[in-house]
Structure 1
Amino acid sequence: MVVPVELGELSAAEQQLWDAFPYGRVATPQSGARTVRAAVIRSLLLGARSAEPGHQAALRLHGAEVAGVLDLHQADVDVAIDLVGCTFDSVPSLSFARLRGVSFEGSTLPGLDAFAATIGGTLSFVKGTLTGAVVIYGVQVSGDLDFDWAHLSGDGRAEEMFGDRVAAVFGDSMQVGRHVYLQGTTASGNVELSGIRVGGAVYAHRGLRVEGMLRLRGADITGEANLTDAVLLNPDDTALDAWGMRAAELSLRPERVDGTVDLRHAQVQILRDDPAKSPARLRLDGARYTALEPAGVAGSRLRWLSQDPEGYRPQPYEQLATHYRQIGHEADARTVLLAKQRRRRRQLSPPAVAWGLLQDLLVGYGYRPGRAALWLLGLTALGTGVFHLHPATGGRSGVAFNPLIYTLDVLVPIVNFGQETAFGFTGNARWLAYLLTILGWLLFTAVAAALTRTFNRS
């Protein structure tokens, strides 16, 4: 086929690509003559050559230096594009294009603009180097989005859409049919994937390193989001923003986190983490999970619940207690709820703090019911012993004084054995009777408050 006049004479590398395209063959320019104009690539992709009979046309260019802007803005391309190990001197423009599949594997680019493009296959940057931002905002990818082992660097975007943000990846509102791969990826700048919809999993482990924010805010992930061994560094801000994320599984076992992890209102079926290595700042308010691996014991999880930089939030305690009850760990559930009440107490007024301390001492806010029995036994033994040594005098005819029954009569507000009204004391024994009455009412009130809290929770 005749080369379009506007392209002029083709170089040896361009001629090789021109000849290989209709057969879907790989064109690998020789060293020293590796330059291919972006205009030649564009011409082929837009129909300058057709497939040879019995072959599937494809643009497969390896190891070339691409000169000029590869402009496929709003183009409709039905052949695969493999630009492997190539070096670009300008940012390719793929915005609003409809493409079959694109690979920049091992290539070096000053960035990419693929805003709202539609990729009917995989979009790959495996082992690539991008010295500017990858703009894939609103892109629809039917296959995989693959950044494995890529090196990404951020730059600023002044457009209103990006809010003057600096990021290595602008990928909000994407749709990915299969998986997102970030294994071994290094990014200097934010990796922004807010609102992404992923039909498979997000594999962000095996050495992912983000110096900035990894943003999965509002993401909807059908499978797993795996952050095992990741390094997330954003010390003065949020390192992982997963606010409102939905996923079947979340493996949150990073190698290092320097910054806040925000899981507020996230919903996951299985949450895997290591409570011994939980981040210093962790926001869990509104987060919900069905299973927690490892569940551990309550003592190992209390620090996990106390790391919200905004202070006490009741919901994370309730969620963890609910999980423990569902798996039959009732004692751990009570421990968590007791810790919740103690943390809440720090925010109360002095009178409320005093009442809370008393409830804690007497019955552990109702989560240590055995304490009530111990207090009752101890006070009963004290009263019985003292009143036995110093029995009451007087009393109605035919009524004998009984130290045990008298003690129970003054100690338990809801019983009346007649001893308290029949007999009186003088001296120190009288003050003990008053004290037992007061303690009995306090104990009864604390138990009643605890029971009310338990029934309300149920």
Structure 2
Amino acid sequence: MIPPELGALSPTEQRLWDAFPRGTRVVLTGDTPRTVRATVIRSLLLGAREAEPGHRAALHLCGADVVGCLDLAQAEIEPAIDLIGCTFDAVPLLSFARLRGVSFEGSTLPGLDAFAATVQGTLSFVKCTFTGALVVYGLHVSGDLDLDWARLAADRRPEELFGDRTAAVFGDAVHVGRHLYLQGTAATGNVELAGMRVGGTMHGHQGLRVDGELRLRRAEVSGEINLTDAVLMNPGGVALGAWGLRAGQLSLLPERIDGAVDLRHARVDVLRDDPDRWPAQLLLDGATYTALEPAGTTGERLNWLDRDPAGYRPQPYEHLARFLRQIGHEADARTVLLVRQRRRRRQLSPAGAAWGLLQDGLVGYGYRPTWAALWLLVLTALGTTIFSLNPPASGAGGTAFNPLVYTLDLLIPIVNFGQERAFGIGGRAQWLAYVLTAMGWILFTAVAGALTRTFNRS
């Protein structure tokens, strides 16, 4: 029985009315009238017709022009919904609805509101064209959320709910049980997926393009986030905002990025990238990873770390050194830590920078310990030669003068061989004694500081 408020059904609507109880597909082609009122679809989905015995009721409609607002807000819908290749003149409302599998594949919509909706199954927007924003804030999908090859446009949303933001996708706190598909998707405006949870993989390869920010702040993806050959364009802003991201693997291999990539405090098991595809600005403070593929050369990775627009941050260097040490590249790890100290020196006061420069030249901040031994050998040879040519007149208590031991007595501040006290050097050689004593203390202090840093790292 047709509800009185619907009035008379058109022939096309009657076809849909008759097909619904058996779950039969209605395909509108050729010169067939295409107009279907949204109220007719709503009535069917809310139980105006029951399934025929032995069949499952479902709404399968292809090629219709849906007029009016399809309002399913807060409804509990049991039948599956397939609205394939349809055109909508009003934004469908699915907020807080509980639905089975839903597909709008190939449809054109002025936007869609599915705020806090629940879908038991897959929600598909494959090849859809949106002229307004897609709102899936707080959406729960037990299966896949599929936006492959969709076209999305930005729209503004009310301040009381969204802070007066403009975006193509409002998708904060989305939960996807399986996979999120964004292959070939094109969005003009931000794609906001902060706090998203994905049980499988986020497929953002094969031509994903976002003219705005792809926002994955605090998102958690159990599998891979694949951005191979993606195009992320937000000149002067953040192209990929992934602060606090958690992912099994991040494949950051875009075709092009214009804008900063923010990976601060992100944690990924495997980070795949390519020096030829690195963004000009890369924020890595607090980011951690278990593996880098490829590990790359030390020079490449140091250039990688030097792309932070905020300047030097110690943690990225320390974590890269830890990673290199874990894979057996101890010398490379020391190089990274040495460069860390050199870049830190730029931020010090003139006195601190001068002392750092001295430590660098003498022992490479402790990461080049052989330099201290070389300095000791050179200074020992110099002192031994000069003191051999300019020996003191006599020593106390008949002690014999030994130029080598005397030089070591000056150079090694924590050892006393008795030569320095027994003999006094005069003339020009006396100035060398002062220099050797000072250099001994400087070398000792630099080595002690390096050992302290080593123990602290351990």
Q: Establish whether TM, by shorter chain, passes 0.5.
A: yes
Cα separation, 1, equivalents of 2:216 and 2:401: 74
Give the alignment of 1:256-295 within 5 angstroms.
256-295=256-295
Cα separation, 2, equivalents of 1:415 and 1:113: 79
Aligned to 2:225: 225
Contact map agreement 2:159 2:165 (CA 8 A) in 1 = no
> Shift of the alpha carbon at 1:418?
2.0
Give the alignment of 1:173-188 within 5 angstroms.
173-188=173-188
What are the superposed Cα offsets for residues 84-127 of structure 1, whole Å, 9 maximum, x if unpaired?
11111111111111110111111110000111111111111111
Bigger drift between 266-275 and 107-116 goes to: 266-275
What are the superposed Cα offsets for residues 36-94 of structure 1, whole Å, 9 maximum, x if unpaired?
11111111111122222222221111111111111111111111111111111111111
The one-letter amino acid paired with 2:61 is L
> Shift of the alpha carbon at 1:398?
4.4
What are the superposed Cα offsets for residues 152-184 of structure 1, whole Å, 9 maximum, x if unpaired?
001111232211111001011111111111111
Aligned to 1:332: 332
Cα separation, 1, equivalents of 2:380 and 2:275: 44
Aligned to 1:17: 16
Aligned to 1:29: 28
The one-letter amino acid paired with 1:15 is Q
SS of 2:36's partner is: strand
SS of 2:347's partner is: coil
Bigger drift between 270-279 and 173-182 goes to: 270-279
Contact map agreement 1:276 1:300 (CA 8 A) in 2 = no
Give the alignment of 1:242-321 within 5 angstroms.
242-321=242-321
Cα separation, 2, equivalents of 1:243 and 1:401: 67
Aligned to 2:358: 358
- Percent identity between the aligned chains? 71
Bigger drift between 252-261 and 187-196 goes to: 252-261
The one-letter amino acid paired with 1:239 is A
Runs ≥4 residues deviating over 6 A: none
Cα separation, 1, equivalents of 2:366 and 2:29: 80
Give the alignment of 1:62-77 within 5 angstroms.
62-77=62-77
* TM-score, normalised relative to structure 1: 0.97
Contact map agreement 2:211 2:232 (CA 8 A) in 1 = yes
Contact map agreement 1:13 1:30 (CA 8 A) in 2 = no
Give the alignment of 1:28-47 within 5 angstroms.
28-32=27-31, 33-47=33-47
Cα separation, 2, equivalents of 1:340 and 1:359: 14
> Shift of the alpha carbon at 1:403?
2.2
Aligned to 2:4: 5
What are the superposed Cα offsets for residues 379-433 of structure 1, whole Å, 9 maximum, x if unpaired?
1121222223333332246433222222112111122222222223232222112
SS of 2:168's partner is: strand
Aligned to 1:410: 410
The one-letter amino acid paired with 1:9 is A
Q: Alignment RMSD, CA only?
A: 1.4
Cα separation, 2, equivalents of 1:392 and 1:25: 113
The one-letter amino acid paired with 2:345 is R
Contact map agreement 2:87 2:108 (CA 8 A) in 1 = yes
Aligned to 1:58: 58
Aligned to 1:392: 392
Aligned to 1:189: 189
Bigger drift between 258-267 and 425-434 goes to: 425-434
Aligned to 2:322: 322
SS of 1:346's partner is: helix
SS of 2:431's partner is: helix
SS of 1:47's partner is: helix
Aligned to 2:213: 213
The one-letter amino acid paired with 1:106 is G
Bigger drift between 291-300 and 255-264 goes to: 291-300
Bigger drift between 102-111 and 46-55 goes to: 46-55
* TM-score, normalised relative to structure 2: 0.97
Structure 1, unpaired ranges of 5+: none
> Shift of the alpha carbon at 1:331?
1.2
Aligned length: 457
Cα separation, 2, equivalents of 1:196 and 1:452: 43
Cα separation, 1, equivalents of 2:235 and 2:51: 53
SS of 2:83's partner is: strand
Cα separation, 1, equivalents of 2:350 and 2:201: 50
> Shift of the alpha carbon at 1:26?
1.4
Cα separation, 2, equivalents of 1:272 and 1:349: 38
SS of 1:304's partner is: helix
